[in-house]
Chain A
Amino acid sequence: MVYVDEFPKTAKLVRGQFLVAFGALAIGALFGVIQALHRTGVFRGFVSSADYYTLLTGHGVLLALVFTTFFIAGLFGWAVSNSLDRELSQRLAWGGFWTMLVGTVLAAVAIIGGLIGAPSILGHSLKADVLFTFYAPMKAHPAFYVGAALIIVGSWVAGASYFKSLWEWRSENPGERIPLRTFMVVTTMLMWYISTIGVAVEVVAFLIPWSLGLIQNVDPLLTRTLFWYFGHPVVYFWLMPAYLVWYTILPKLAGGRLFSDPLARVVFVLFLLLSTPVGFHHQYVDPGIPEGFKFIAMTNTMFLLLPSLLTAFTVVASMEHGARQRGGKGYLSWLRDLPWGNPAFAGCALAGLMFAAGGFSGMINAGMNINYLIHNTLWVPGHFHLTVGTAFALTAMAISYWLVPQLTGKQLQRRSLALAQPYVWFIGMTLMSNAMHRAGLAGIPRRTAEPTYDEFAFEGVAGTVGEMRLQIAIGGFLLFVGAALFLIVMAETFLARRGGTLSVNSTIPEPLSGPEHSPRILDNYKLWTAIALVLIVIAYGPPLASMIADGITAPGSPPIPV
């Protein structure tokens, strides 16, 4: 039986979440290609350099917040309902959906206002050119902050529907091990609840009243620190769903089974413990924070490599197992026997491969001293276009080729376009991100519309600046083509008639080493949450205390319109 017939209510919800996510992807990708062409100087006719930052804000918010959060909500809804064999609580799940959607519309309207001349709405000019990080004291329209807050709150409500399902399932199945996919969803959501507290306090307690004029000043370092308390865990909120796919679905697509269920649980628990107390590594070069606190965060950050390194092992081992089931032989020649002609598999495998490269550049970012060379250069977007922009985004697109037919009961349309898409994305990202990394080493900054200056010129360390620009432009264009191919396939699949046989189903084979081999303590969420909170208090308690010792809004800054 197909998922849509088994769980028609949840399937409808997931379809809604995916449609919003794909809409955000469409607009975000369009903004992205305009930026790539503008800042490389290939074509500058779309926007002025001042309006570039409006597009940059839209690109960041729509892709890194809206696309990810809606897609994850959908994926998690599928994973929980399917692995617990029950529909989600409709009231909670839809409540979360509508809250997130209202938030998205508010934030999007505030951003787009900047492109249409920033009319005055409710006494504030309607614009939000403050980028994804919205560092105070740059001020956006209050609707932007309210919208961002609603997106977060909506995701909390959606998360509550997963917990409710788990409680119901536990009361009916006492003593049974939590199914792996639900375990992963719940661990991820616990991490998300803990880490979003920072941004919620920042926005609700400080930025909303400040942007409305109810309080005069905010402390820029304090709000920035609260942002990064959330700002690094959020990347694990993107990554862990990709890991869920790589652990539970990818082995099946490869023709085999997951290598180890217990290790998968260990990896997710490590993320819950270590994801939040690392945010200071984004503030290595911030004044006002003692070196010792930065060193503690650096140590945590380095240990956070461990779950990703373990994942690399498991994913490769599971793929090898799959290839050998399909007749693969030899040390490396089994790679040929993987189903490279299946777009869902190819996308996930290529995403995993690029994530390995992104992981290595992330280790450079995490290195407290070499970080000085690349902080806020083009290296950084080069890095996160490999992680969120490929490990997450390409996995999301690839697994949609597998999930959407089950959510709609319709066959995947335009299979050949779907198959070309992951490869187009891979080539585009290879060009764009390698050039961005090298441009970063040459000192070219990120987040700028015109990377040339009157006072001096940049020189490439390897290759010329002109050649890097060309690669970024071609890469960015190919990524836009990749997104467009995906959206065409999705649109036609959603609009197709039902009928014919689906070549996919939601059944996940048993792992080689099952949950019975894992210690029960892994399912003890109370314990892990408590340890996670203690680690956060150690990492954040003293620096936050010193920042608010001189008063919670001092040294204070009034809002500065941009």
Chain B
Amino acid sequence: MQVHNFEKIWLGVALLLIVGFIATIAYGSVGAGISMVDDSGGTISAQAVQSGETGTGFDDPGVVKQSDDHYVVYVVAQQFQFRPGSGDNPIRVPADARITFMVTSPDVVHGFSITETNINTMVIPGQVAEVSARFDEPGTYGLVCHEYCGAGHHTMGGSIEVVAPSNYTAQQQAVDGEVSA
């Protein structure tokens, strides 16, 4: 087969580029510790989430303190709100602690994305998405459902209030009211 010299050089450079990309991503996950959303959250019955009978933190979603440095936030994403998160019920977490979000859906596919961060996961009925992060700076971050989930999809937003650790009261943040689907 006849391959022109310029073509050979181009081919070599293209392969180098591709291998380079893969190397940077491998470095990102091993060296810089950027972990992926994976199957660690396990599966769950969507109907049980709907009726609040899972026997897990999703039955009473909110912030659960594990230790001074680790908080778990259970969030139910449903048509068309985050519990907690939407309206005047923001998710409140301390800065500089490890925050693990456990998110699931009782109805359709939703998204869970926190603006100005790379916290971003799909929320799929029957699956629990588990994402951990640390917020360096106090402030209010936006929370967006980025997967079309029905006629009111565009109203499904929320917010995360990241509080300086000294101001954070460590009690569980419970959500008022029941499922309002």
Contacts and interface: CB of A to CB of B under 8 A. Distances in A.
A305 B147 contact: no
A291 interface: yes
Contact of A519 (B1, B148, B149): B1
A264 to B, nearest CB: 12
Contacts of A302: 18, 21-22
B1 A135 contact: no
Which of B6, B107, B128, B146 counts the most A-chain CB atoms under 10 A from its CB?
B146
B144 A453 contact: yes
B165 interface: no
B87 A454 contact: yes
Contacts of B39: 287-290, 546
Given A262-B2, A443-B115, A287 B124 contact: yes
A137 B150 contact: no
Contacts of A6: none
B142 A455 contact: yes
Contact of A555 (B29, B90, B107, B125): B125
Nearest to A518: B1
B61 interface: no
Interface stretch (A186-194, A206-214, A369-377, A475-483): A369-377
Nearest to B46: A557
Given A260-B4, A458-B115, A299 B22 contact: yes
Nearest to A135: B109
Interface in B47-96: 47, 79, 86-87, 90
Given A224-B124, A373-B120, A455-B159, A50 B14 contact: no
Contact of A288 (B43, B111, B151, B155): B43
Contacts of A262: 1-3
Interface stretch (A9-17, A306-314, A392-400, A529-537): A306-314
A49 B156 CA distance: 13
B97 interface: no
A280 to B, nearest CB: 11
B121 A287 contact: yes
Contact of A368 (B7, B25, B149, B150): B25
A313 B10 contact: yes
B108 interface: yes
Given A220-B109, A450-B154, A137 B127 contact: no
A58 B28 CA distance: 39
A455 B113 CA distance: 14
Contacts of B179: none
A526 interface: no
A550 B109 CA distance: 20
B11 to A, nearest CB: 7
A202 interface: no
B138 to A, nearest CB: 15
A290 B36 CA distance: 9
B18 A456 contact: no
A169 B119 CA distance: 56
Which of A288, A367, A454 counts the most B-chain CB atoms under 10 A from its CB?
A288
B35 interface: yes
A373 B120 CA distance: 7
B136 interface: no
B120 A291 contact: no
A445 B115 CA distance: 10
A287 to B, nearest CB: 4
Contacts of A447: 146-148, 153
B170 interface: no
B162 interface: no
Nearest to B158: A455
A451 B120 CA distance: 17
A286 B37 contact: yes
A167 interface: no
Interface string A514-557: 00011100000000000000000000000000100010001111
Contact of A220 (B10, B11, B126): B126
A445 B25 contact: no
B100 interface: no
A453 to B, nearest CB: 3
Contacts of A140: none
A446 interface: yes
B99 interface: no
A258 interface: no
Nearest to A265: B1
A284 B116 contact: no
A56 B153 CA distance: 13
A29 B143 CA distance: 32
Contacts of A443: 113, 115-116, 142, 144
A273 to B, nearest CB: 15
A46 interface: no
Which of A49, A363, A368, A450 counts the most B-chain CB atoms under 10 A from its CB?
A368
Nearest to B159: A455
A108 interface: no
Interface string A162-182: 000000000000000000000
Interface in A277-294: 283-291, 294
A375 B120 contact: yes
B147 A221 contact: no
A284 B29 CA distance: 13
B14 A306 contact: yes
Given A50-B152, A131-B148, A305-B14, 14 more contacts: A219-B126, A220-B127, A260-B7, A283-B122, A286-B121, A287-B39, A291-B38, A368-B28, A368-B29, A372-B119, A453-B144, A455-B90, A456-B141, A555-B45
Closest 5 CB pairs of A and B: A555-B126, A453-B157, A456-B142, A287-B129, A445-B146
28 contacts: A56-B148, A137-B125, A138-B109, A220-B109, A220-B127, A221-B126, A285-B121, A286-B121, A287-B123, A287-B124, A291-B35, A306-B15, A309-B14, A310-B7, A363-B21, A367-B24, A368-B25, A368-B28, A368-B36, A369-B28, A376-B146, A377-B146, A513-B4, A517-B1, A555-B43, A555-B45, A555-B46, A555-B126
